[in-house]
Structure 1
Amino acid sequence: MLAICKREFIESFKGFKSIIVIAIFLVTAYYSADFSNFLLSLDADFTSEEEQILHTFGIAALIMVFGMLFVMGLSHDTVNREVHERTIRFLVTRTSRSSIIIGKFLGIALFWVVCLLASFLIITIFVHEFDVTTFLQSTSLAIYYSAVTVLVSVLIKKPGFTMFLSVVVGIAFPIFNGWVTYTSNAWFSWMKYFLPFYYLDDLSLNYKLFVVLLLAGVLVMIALLVFRRREC
């Protein structure tokens, strides 16, 4: 499992798309910190909580609006590519199916944790304060997105179709999730309990953060159950 996690983590850094995404996060972090310092220099009447949000708003908004698109765009074929190229047979003979799914999930999630950590460290250099709450909330979102990506890659066999689906879902997910979270429509409002945005609207650390991680765990378990029943 650790070997698969390590391979997936390293592979996530390779390729032109990965470089672009990493650059977007780092540039956003830099200008987010720079712009927040500019606003604070105007002596506006911000509370301490508002100042924290101001520093990390760019990264938080980036992961909420484009996070799913980025994660699925880079790793949409993490499982079905192995199945399509038949390299999955070598993995299955050497390790368990549980190790394959969990290892790939951890590798993808770790890549995004590192990207977020680097972004928040850049902000910390400028503002001399590390926003733990926003970092953990953003990390939990990235972990949730990683779980969705692994599940989709298990459910859909063709890498070409998941590439197309990653764009559609990546764009539609934040819109739908935001609407479901605040809608009063009884037919859809119940869905907010299965989506992450509902649990991340609080500025303080609480149990809701762990609910997002629990949802991610459930998605990985579903992916594992499906993968165990599938012929490779």
Structure 2
Amino acid sequence: MWAICLNEFKGHFKSFKSIVVIAIIFGVTYLTADLMSNLMATFPEEAAELGTDGYATGIVILIFVLGFFFITGLSHDIINREVSERTMRFLVTKTSRLNVLMGKYLGVWFFWLFCMVICFLLITIKSKDFLWLGLIDTMLFLSVALALNLVFSIVIPKPGVTMFVGITFALVFPALSFWAIFSGKLYVTWFKFLTPYYYSSLSNYYILINGLYTVLLLLLAYWLFNRRDF
């Protein structure tokens, strides 16, 4: 499992798309934190109302709005790439399917953990305080997004189709989620309970529900993966 995890982790640093995404994330994070620092100096009373959490505004908004899009662009074929290249049969004969699945998932998860830790370290330069809650909230949200991406890559056999479905989902799902959260209409407000955005918006211990959400999606992914014939 750990060999697969390490290979997936290193592979995410080798593509041009990854470099672009990393540059965007780091750039937005630092520039927003720097802007917040300037606001603190210019308007201390108004900016103080946001607290130190305001320094993480850039990365939080970026991940919540474009997180699914970034994950789709980098990892949409995490499983079906191996199936398409006929290397999955080799993997499942060398180790258990659970090890393959978790190795793939954890490899991508650690890639995003690395990126988020660097982002929050950049924020610390300006805030003088490491925002642990912000990091945990962001990673729990990304954990759900990565698990959903894993399910898509298992269900859809062709990488090209996964990319199309993933991009469509990345555009529609956040919009529908925010609509459900802020709408008072009964026919749509129920949908908020199915989105990781809602539990992140509640903050405090509610963000841990996204951890449970991730576990349920991984169980679904494992069940679907076991039903596949390679």
Calculate the TM-score normalised by the size of structure 1. 0.94
1:221 match: 219
Query: 1:115-170 CA deviation, whole Å, 9 max, x = no partner?
Result: 01101101101221111121111111111111011010001000011111222111
SS of residue paired to 1:201 = helix
Counterparts in 2 of 1:47 and 1:16: CA distance versus 1, 3 Å: closer
| Partner Cα distance (1:163, 1:47) in 2 | 40
2:58 match: 58
Query: 1:70-116 CA deviation, whole Å, 9 max, x = no partner?
Result: 01110000000101111001101001111111111111111111101
Query: 1:3-37 CA deviation, whole Å, 9 max, x = no partner?
Result: 11111111111100000000011101110111001
Unaligned runs of 5+ in 2: none
Query: 1:177-197 CA deviation, whole Å, 9 max, x = no partner?
Result: 111222223233222212111
Percent of residue pairs bearing the same amino acid type: 37
8 Å CA contact 2:52–2:127 kept in 1: the answer is no
Q: CA offset at residue 49 of structure 1?
A: 5.9
Q: Which runs of 4+ in 1 moved over 3 A?
A: 46-49
Supply the RMSD in Å over aligned alpha carbons: 1.4
Find the partner of 2:209 among 204, 208, 211: 211
Matches within 5 A, 1:1-232: 1-46=1-46, 48=48, 50-203=50-203, 205-206=204-205, 208-232=206-230
8 Å CA contact 2:29–2:58 kept in 1: the answer is yes
| Partner Cα distance (1:187, 1:97) in 2 | 40
Counterparts in 2 of 1:196 and 1:89: CA distance versus 1, 3 Å: same
Q: CA offset at residue 53 of structure 1?
A: 2.7
8 Å CA contact 2:12–2:18 kept in 1: the answer is yes
Unaligned runs of 5+ in 1: none
Q: CA offset at residue 171 of structure 1?
A: 1.7
8 Å CA contact 1:113–1:142 kept in 2: the answer is no
Q: How many residues align?
A: 230
8 Å CA contact 2:120–2:130 kept in 1: the answer is yes
8 Å CA contact 2:40–2:47 kept in 1: the answer is no
| Partner Cα distance (2:178, 2:192) in 1 | 9
| Partner Cα distance (1:83, 1:36) in 2 | 46
Calculate the TM-score normalised by the size of structure 2. 0.95
